[in-house]
Amino acid sequence: MKILHRIQYLKDYLHSLGWSRTKTLQDLGEIWYSKEFDAEVYMPSNTDVPDFSTRLRETLNIISTIYSIDAESVLDELFLENTDVFSIRVVSSDTEDGTIGLERGADLVKDAYSLFTAAALAVEKPKLVYAGSYPQPVSEFMKQLRLGQTQKGSYIVTLCNSLPETAQSSLTPKNAEGLFERKVSEKLVEAVSYLHSQIKGQGGLPEYSSFLNAAGYGVSANLCDALSKLNLNKDDDLVELRVHWAPKYERPIETGIGDVFSFNNLEAKVLGEIAAYLRDTLPVDDVLLKGSVMRLERQSSNSHEVTILVHEGDYRTKRVHMLLEETSHSEAIRAYEVDQTVQCKGTLRKDGRIYWLSDVKEFNLLEDEQ
């Protein structure tokens, strides 16, 4: 009975993609036809027929060939009938056997999480750079996002964005308009599609300033950075993002089961550079910085310039200048004298080659980081 339910899900999915049932063969099965691909498949329905499994396998192979889907996972994914399924595939010499290093695998999931967070933030409020805490709708959405079963084919991470369950009848997909979960799926695809077309269309060297007007597409430094980090930084790498829309819901206009976007090693590096460009060009509110005090200089009787060295990981650092009032300046002096890490929050901007933090607040020493 379970396999017949999955065949019904497959019918629902094909119908949502424009396929139609053209003939019913008594109690044996049905013929389905796609005008877009001028192709037809036989959908068996009687499990008592000896060649049921063979005919079903043939059908799955045809569908997998048309849409470039792994035949082994077609029915498994369709069983998630109320779920938008995103697959992130890493192709590298390190993943040829279908495994990946534990540390890198953990980073991959973390970067995938950041990718969805950026898309959710773009739905809530389009911006080119995000910092600080998340709005409640974004936090609630991220709690319901699930990690799916891994698949064969290099190394594939699956993320499941579940939409509300629906009892909608078969062959009548439900409208997903207004659902925050579907908005996030659509925004992620829109942003990745825009980046994909801009980078591929300009030979891998787009004009970075053109992305200053891309917030409406869901593009942000956060999303570009997460997408870039999905790559393993080896010359033979390819990162591929594929989406399968929930069969029980209408799929967005101009999208399909074949929504696939890939970025090679060089293109991933460009994405990282776009992220850095956006962060360096635009002021960012509520940035939390940690670093060590390098320089102290009095500007006036009640204003003092302080420079801290911020560690960004991977041996990268940057100097950030700020003006402090007397109380915070006293804290900076104490940190300088005992070589203690400080933490502060404010609006970060870049003026030429110099970083400035304005509206500084919560300047204090971190007692546990001596």
Q: Which pLDDT belongs to residue 236? A: 61
Give me the pLDDT at residue 200, please: 87
DSSP 250-269: PPPTT--TTEEEEEEHHHHH
Q: What is the rounded average pLDDT of the residues 329-338? A: 91
Which residue type, as a one-letter code, is found at position 156?
I
How far apart, in whole angstroms, are the C-alpha atoms of residue 130 and residue 121? 8
Residue 274 has pLDDT above 80, yes or no: yes
What CA–CA distances, in Å, run from 23 to 49, 237, 259?
19, 45, 29
Share of the chain above pLDDT 90, in %: 38
Alpha-carbon distance of 161 to 366, in angstroms, equals 38
Q: What's the mean pLDDT in 93-100?
A: 80
Residue with the bigger pLDDT between 354 and 260: it is: 354
**Confidence band of 258 (pLDDT split at 50, 70, 90):** very low
pLDDT at 115 over 60: yes
Contacts of 251 (CB under 8 A, 6+ apart): 16, 17, 173, 245
pLDDT in tens, 130-171: 987 889 999 999 999 998 877 666 788 889 999 987 655 455
Identify the band that residue 85 occupies on the pLDDT scale cut at 50, 70 and 90. Answer: confident
Q: Are 166 and 197 in contact (CB under 8 A)?
A: no
What are the beta bridge partners of residue 306? Answer: 296, 322
Distance, CA of 273 to CA of 347 (rounded, Å): 21
Report whether 322 contacts 351 (CB < 8 A): no
115 vs 122: CA distance, rounded Å: 11
Q: Domain 284-365's class?
A: mainly beta
In this predicted structure, the answer to whether residue 370 has a pLDDT above a threshold of 50 is: no
**Percentage of residues in the chain with pLDDT exceeding 70?**
85
Kindly report, residue by residue over 160-179, the tens digit of the pLDDT.
Answer: 999 987 655 455 667 888 89
pTM: 0.71
Least confident stretch, 122-126, 161-165, 255-259, 331-335: 255-259
**pLDDT (tens digit per residue) in 220-251:** 999 999 999 988 666 668 888 988 888 778 87
Q: How far apart are CA 257 and CA 105, in angstroms?
A: 26
Within 8 A by CB and 6+ apart from 193, the residues are 259, 261
Residue 282: partners with Cβ closer than 8 Å, 6 or more residues away: 128, 129, 212, 349
